[in-house]
Amino acid sequence: MSERVTIVDYGLGNIFSVARAVEHFGVDVLLSDDPCVLGEASRLILPGVGAFAIGMQGLRERALIEPLRKFAASGRPLLGICLGMQMLLSGSEEFGDHEGLGIIPGLVAPVSGQTATGAILKVPHVGWSPLHNPLFGNSWDGSILAGLPEACEAYFVHSYTAVPADDAHRLADTWYGNCRISAAVRKNNVYGCQFHPEKSGPAGLKIIENFLSVV
């Protein structure tokens, strides 16, 4: 298991609740917005809540965009949470067109959905929703979702969802009415959770524990 995890502190996010979840496993946590510190980290968590453009602005103002891209390319584990996951993608349609980190090809699009009777569902999507293994057969073995049962629930709060260009990068899905939502994504060593593992009870703690052990 990792001896230290670095959490990216860019002025926007639930960094302290994420830090507490990591510390639950006896792992040291370092909060940093220093590009050099991020470059030397063994594993990174990129948390976040709020608007995509503001999140990217926070990274840009701290000169963290290229260090994050280089870190992802290095093969070391990186986990994006909520907005942090969305920023891993190429761009977002939230309040205009905005460039993302481009680590996982794809776009972030609005959540929409209807019930079986055609009623429009409220947005944001808030609450507990089940995680499903995508139909094309991705396995959770060896990932941050290893050991979790099909349809285990996680806690979501979001109005936009990642849409990976390659379905192979979908690790887990959930549904909001008839809207397919990327609940978790993976590209090699880079992971993302649209839900909040730090607020998702035992299943969320298992995800954090898996991330601390993944190589």
Active site residues: 82, 196, 198
From residue 140, alpha-carbon distances to 9, 11, 99, 105 in Å are 29, 32, 29, 21
From residue 186, alpha-carbon distances to 16, 53, 114, 168 in Å are 24, 22, 28, 8
Measuring CA to CA, which residue among 70, 7, 5 is closest to residue 34?
A: 7
Are 155 and 166 within 8 A, CB to CB?
Answer: no
Are 148 and 206 within 8 A, CB to CB?
Answer: yes
Measuring CA to CA, which residue among 20, 32, 13, 45 is closest to residue 198?
A: 20
DSSP notation for 48-75 = --S-HHHHHHHHHHTT-HHHHHHHHHTT
Instruction: Copy the structure tokens of residue 120.
Output: 């429009």
Classify residue 36 by burial, with Cβ atoms within 10 Å: 0-12, 13-18, 19+.
exposed
Alpha-carbon distance of 173 to 186, in angstroms, equals 12
